[in-house]
Amino acid sequence: MSNVNFLAKLVKYVDAKRQAAVSYLGTPQDIGVLLPYGMHSSPPAGAVFVVLPMSGRASDAVGIPNASWLRKLELKPGEMYVGNDVAGTRILFKEAGGIEVLATADVVVHAPRGAVVNGDTTVNGNAVINGDTDITGTLKVAGVVVNGHVHANPEGGNVGPME
């Protein structure tokens, strides 16, 4: 069996053409980039590619960007991980159906027709609401019911709820 090297180091990635300029077998070479359906990425300079010579010739090769550090993750059967090791962000699709997101900057959702969250939601940290808010159900602030809340009037009777 011959000692064949199937690894290349990325020099430059041309995203629009899905081409990578790599150093393969000691020679600069342009190769096509092979990614799974629906996936799109722009690997950083120095990234390692697994090179597949499609017809057995290095001149007819495609490359798959490889993040060898991902092999060190201890994923459970059925889990999937998408990450950006440059920024330290990740999305982990858990085996039981949950999704874990780790972002090192803002997470922005653009949904011109609205976004819906079904289920209980917890916000740990500050929340800012810009715009109108419609609440159906009970609104509590620090454990006190705000809508429908009644105060005792020191002059007698009760005050509230506001109409």
pTM reported for the whole predicted model: 0.63
Query: What is the C-alpha to C-alpha distance for residues 124 and 79, in angstroms, rounded to an integer?
Result: 26
Residue numbers of the domain that contains 34? 7-66
Mean pLDDT of 21-31: 81
pLDDT of 100 over the 90 cut: yes
Residue 26, classed as helix, strand or coil, is: coil
Could you tell me the CATH number of the domain that includes residue 61? 2.40.50.230
- Residue 74 pLDDT: 82
pLDDT band at 87 (very low <50, low <70, confident <90, very high): confident
In a domain, 151, yes or no: no
Q: Please report the beta strands in 37-131, taking only residues with DSSP state E, as ranges in sequence order.
A: 48-53, 61-66, 80-84, 89-93, 99-102
Per-residue confidence (pLDDT) for residue 136, from 0 to 100: 85
What is the number of domains present in the chain? 1
- 1 with 40: CB under 8 angstroms? no
Tell me whether residue 54 is in a domain. yes
- Three-class SS state of 40: coil
Going from the C-alpha of 52 to that of each of 16, 34, 63, 78, 128, the distances in angstroms are: 21, 10, 6, 27, 50
Pair of tokens at residue 32: 């096509």
- Output the pLDDT for position 4: 54
